[in-house]
Amino acid sequence: MKIDYDLLRYILIRIENISDGKSHIRAVNLVPKEKRQNKEYMKTVSYHVCFLIDAKYITGSKKYWYNPYFSDITPKGHEFLSAIREDSIWHEVKDKIGISLCDKGLSFVFDVAMKIGQSIILKGLTPG
């Protein structure tokens, strides 16, 4: 399955909003109720949650890969989310890398997002 970076971003934002850092929350809780009957979408979300666990961006378990659980975002995940949270930065990252991020690695997307964010901050600090 190809990685959908928009979905990864959505998942991280949702986890940040619903996690208390202790509870085990199933991937199904990330999916809007109207989409929970769509088995392909559920499989895609589960795959992406497992991917984020493997990448150490979230803590959780893949014991039940079809509905893994998570507890929280790791410091590495928070750093990535901070870099891509703002819509304007995210759109610029996608514009710079290309419409499809599928063939890019997560660390590459993270590096581009960090550079764009730093550039925006530095522009704001420059007098004039």
Mean pLDDT (the chain, rounded): 85
Q: Which pTM does this prediction carry? A: 0.82
Measuring CA to CA, how many Å separate 77 from each of 25, 56, 107, 125?
17, 7, 11, 27
pLDDT-based confidence at residue 125 (cuts at 50, 70, 90): low
Condensed to tens digits (0 to 9), the pLDDT of residues 64-103 reads 878 899 999 999 999 889 888 888 888 888 887 775 555 6
36 or 65: which leads in pLDDT: 36
State phi, psi for 59 to the nearest 5 degrees. Answer: -95, 145
